[in-house]
A = this chain, B = another copy of it.
Amino acid sequence: MLNEIHGFQAAYARCIDDDRLEGWPEYFLPNAHYRVTTVDNHRRGLPAGLIWANSRAMLVDRITALREANIYERHSYRHLLGLPFVEPQADGTARAETPFMVARIMRDGGTELFVTGRYLDVFARDEAGALKLLERVVVCDSSRIDTLLAIPL
């Protein structure tokens, strides 16, 4: 499953960085949980996040809103992911932790290190046997990202 998760993570990042955001919810199961939070909130066990969704439908809505707001025209991302840790679970799912850096490229050409952190994932299979996210908690290292966040991480 390790190689499969490698491929999944690379495809996920590429989907966002190529601005194919409509394809992004497809990486999740229909009942998936997705949230973006900070390391401080995560340590304190606070459930609230910068982004919070408990279904794939909510992720679809988010992309629709982003497209209407035309935010995607203003900047792009470049994800670079480290090697994932994978812990297979007895119930057939797998937990994984993957560090990341994301650079943001503004329309005027400026490039900056935007956010760093790690994905805390639970992977499971859909009915067709394809690997999907049952849960992704994006734990950002910095607590100063809320006002900037637009495109999903």
Spell out A's residues near B (CB within 8 Å): 6-7, 9-11, 13-14, 17, 39, 76, 78-85, 97, 99-101, 103, 105, 108-118, 141-145
Contacts and interface: CB of A to CB of B under 8 A. Distances in A.
Contacts of A116: 78, 80, 103, 105, 111
Given A6-B83, A83-B9, A76 B14 contact: no
Contacts of A141: 76, 78, 103, 105, 111
Given A17-B99, A80-B101, A109 B10 contact: no
A82 B13 contact: yes
B145 A109 contact: yes
B142 A105 contact: yes
Contacts of A114: 111
Contacts of A9: 83
A111 B113 contact: yes
